Homo-oligomer: A and B are copies of this chain.
C-alpha cells in the first residue's frame, strides 16, 4: 500500500517539518519505497515534485525537506507498489487540468475492476489503479458540470464528489486526497487521520524522527491549518481517525463539509473478488 499526507491552511505555510517525518516512511520507518511525490498549490499555480526513488533516500526529497515552499494546499504520497511497476509515470500525485484549474490526486488502497469508459477524456499515462480511478473521477466531474465554462465552487463540487467517491470505494479501499488548490477533498476507507492546529500553537514532536518544532513563533494568532495523514505524524497532538465511508472537505484550513456513507466497507489488504472476470492491467497477485 502507500501513505498519504495533506495540508490545508488559511495563510500560506510550509510543510517541511511534516514532510521530514512523512518521507521517513519511504524506506526509513516504513517500507513505502517505490517512489514519492508532493504537490504544492500557490495561487493558481501548482508545482509537483516526484521521484521513483525511496523518499528517505531521494536527493529531490532532500531538496524538498531543506527548501520550505509556502502553500495553501499540499498533497503528498509515498508509494508501495501494488498495481503498476516502479517508474516516474506511476508516482502520485497525478494531475489534470479542468476548466483552468490544476487538479491533483493521491490514493492509498487497492481498487479492482476500475477501467476508464470509452470516450473518457482523461486517460492514464501510467499503469496504476489509482490513476485510472482519478481519470474516471475527472470524467464524471466533466460530465456532471459539462455546461460550466467556469470552475464550480466547492459547495457545488462537494456533493457530486461524495457520490463519485462512494462509487469508486465500492471497488476497493479509497483513501484519497484530491485538490484544485481551492479545497482539499478527502475520502477514507481504512486509514486516514486529521489534525487541526490553531492558536495557541504547540511544540510538536515527529513520530518518525527525533525532531521537535515549536510552532508558536512560526504562526500568527489567526492561522489555522489542518493536516491529513494515513497515520499521525506527531506525538502528543489530538489526531482524529476518519471513519470508513467518510468524505470531508477542507477550505483554508477548516473542515467545511462532511458526508458519511454508512454502507461503505473497508476491504482487506489483499481481497478476493469472485466476480472479477479479467484482471485489471498491472494487477499483482498478492
Majority-rule SS of A interface residues: mixed
Q: Are A99 and B87 in contact (CB under 8 A)?
A: no
Q: Which of B42, B123, B125 contacts A45 (CB 8 A)?
A: B125
When A67-B60, A121-B121 are in contact, do A43 and B89 touch as well, CB less than 8 Å?
yes
In the complex, chain B residues whose CB is within 8 Å of the CB of A97: 96, 122-123, 125
Looking at A46-54, A153-161, A217-225, A248-256, the stretch in contact with chain B turns out to be A46-54
Q: Are A45 and B99 in contact (CB under 8 A)?
A: no
In the complex, chain B residues whose CB is within 8 Å of the CB of A43: 87-89
Q: Are A126 and B44 in contact (CB under 8 A)?
A: yes
Q: Are B124 and A100 in contact (CB under 8 A)?
A: yes
Which A146-176 residues sit within 8 Å CB-CB of chain B? 149
Q: Give the docked Cα–Cα distance between A97 and B49 (Å).
A: 17
Q: Are A87 and B44 in contact (CB under 8 A)?
A: yes
A101 is an interface residue with CB less than 8 A from chain B: yes
A271 is an interface residue with CB less than 8 A from chain B: no
A49 (CB) vs chain B CBs: closest residue: B49
In the complex, chain B residues whose CB is within 8 Å of the CB of A45: 52, 87-91, 125-126
Which A30-60 residues sit within 8 Å CB-CB of chain B? 42-52, 59-60
A257 is an interface residue with CB less than 8 A from chain B: no
In the complex, chain B residues whose CB is within 8 Å of the CB of A67: 59-60
Q: Give the docked Cα–Cα distance between A125 and B151 (Å).
A: 11
In the complex, chain B residues whose CB is within 8 Å of the CB of A51: 47
A99 (CB) vs chain B CBs: closest residue: B123
A138 (CB) vs chain B CBs: closest residue: B97
Q: Give the docked Cα–Cα distance between A96 and B121 (Å).
A: 12
Which A112-134 residues sit within 8 Å CB-CB of chain B? 118, 121-126
- The proximity string for A residues 199-231 relative to B, scoring 1 for CB distances below 8 Å and 0 otherwise, is 000000000000000000000000000000000
Q: Which of B48, B87, B89 contacts A48 (CB 8 A)?
A: B48
In the complex, chain B residues whose CB is within 8 Å of the CB of A126: 44-45
Which A82-105 residues sit within 8 Å CB-CB of chain B? 87-91, 95-102
Task: List 15 additional A-B contacts (Cβ < 8 Å) besides A59-B63, A100-B125.
Answer: A42-B87, A45-B88, A45-B90, A45-B125, A46-B88, A46-B125, A47-B50, A47-B51, A47-B88, A48-B48, A59-B67, A97-B123, A97-B125, A100-B123, A101-B125
Q: What would be 26 A-B contacts, judged by CB atoms less than 8 Å apart?
A: A42-B88, A43-B87, A44-B87, A44-B89, A45-B88, A45-B89, A45-B90, A45-B126, A46-B88, A46-B89, A46-B125, A47-B50, A47-B88, A59-B63, A59-B67, A60-B63, A60-B67, A63-B63, A96-B97, A97-B123, A97-B125, A99-B123, A100-B123, A100-B124, A100-B125, A121-B121
